[in-house]
Structure 1
Amino acid sequence: MPEVVLLIGLQACGKTTFYRERLAATHALVSKDAMSRSARRKEDRQRRELAALLAEGHDVCVDNTQPSAAERAGVIAVARAHGARVVGYWWPPDPELSLRRNAARSEPVPEVGLYAALARWEEPRPDEGFDRLVRR
């Protein structure tokens, strides 16, 4: 059974580092950050990439902020449609830490993006469709 891992948290909270250290050897990566800045309909493209990788039999990690249940629902629906197990790792919001780490990045995310994600934040719940949900 393929596995889809959702990494959930504010920008610069440690999601990508977690992917590199724990999942890169076993899971293909889908991330809107890897798409060109001019790419349109990133949500649709993300779902298509996820579906294609699952159809090929890959385990996949989706590394985005995914702060609301509605934003996670599309990924979970694609995973379920392909018979995948769904695991969520989430980082509770820590805006001060995220702002500090973001400022140290070579290409920081505009602070307004971090605050927008924080405004949409909904703590992930098992009843969203997760088989396993882990707070980091």
Structure 2
Amino acid sequence: MELLLLIGLQGSGKSTFYRTRFASSHAYVSKDLLRNNRHPARRQLQQVEDALRQGQLVVVDNTNASRAERSELIELGKRLGARVIGYYFEVDLARCRARNAQREGLRRVPEVAIFATLKRLERPDYSEGFDELFFVRNNDQEGFDVSPWQSTLSGEG
């Protein structure tokens, strides 16, 4: 059993990464699908718990920007015996803004939301309870480069 947390700005490629790498094997949980729910964070936790209890592999596709946002998910995964794996998407503000501008309807977020997420974005760390961490660089048409986690990475920005 595993719980994957995708971590990054809106427009960084998290949903595309899920579709290309995990759609055939992992259940998909995202607050984007819970827009009409009065308590999306609570509902998201319930969906993750239900899927893990059924023995499913799960991906949580949100910004998961701060340690606080990730903590309940990590704790739940650990409590249910899942390996918790984080995928941290490179911060490339210009590319995220450009991808967001190409989105249609509710998929496009206000620019201020991207900047607000950037402001609270915290790099994940093994001390949070992750079993594995990876750094993801989105190369658009070329796909994704995934590399093992390093506590400090250059070239981000």
Normalised by the length of structure 2, the TM-score is: 0.83
The residue that corresponds to 2:101 in the other structure is 103
Q: List 4+ stretches of structure 1 deviating above 2 A.
A: none
Q: Percent identity?
A: 46
The residue that corresponds to 2:69 in the other structure is 71
Q: Does 1:120 align with 2:120?
A: yes
Alignment length (residue pairs): 134
Structure with max Cα Rg = 2
Higher strand share: 2
Q: Structure 2: which amino acid aligns with 1:128?
A: E
Distance, in Å, in 1 between the alignment partners of 2:7 and 2:119 is: 14
Q: Structure 1: which amino acid aligns with 2:7?
A: I
Computed over aligned residues only, the root mean square deviation of the Cα atoms, in angstroms, reads 0.8
Instruction: Could you tell me which runs of 5 or more consecutive residues in structure 1 were left unpaired when the two chains were aligned.
Output: none
Q: Structure 2: which amino acid aligns with 1:29?
A: Y
Q: Structure 2: which amino acid aligns with 1:70?
A: A
Instruction: Quote how far apart the aligned CAs of 1:4 are.
Output: 0.4
Correspondences of 1:1-136 after superposition (within 5 Å): 2-35=1-34, 37-107=35-105, 108-136=108-136
Distance, in Å, in 1 between the alignment partners of 2:79 and 2:111 is: 35
Instruction: Quote how far apart the aligned CAs of 1:92 are.
Output: 2.5
Instruction: Quote how far apart the aligned CAs of 1:113 are.
Output: 1.2
Higher RCO structure, 1 or 2 (CA under 8 Å, sep 6+): 1
Instruction: Quote how far apart the aligned CAs of 1:81 are.
Output: 1.1
Normalised by the length of structure 1, the TM-score is: 0.95
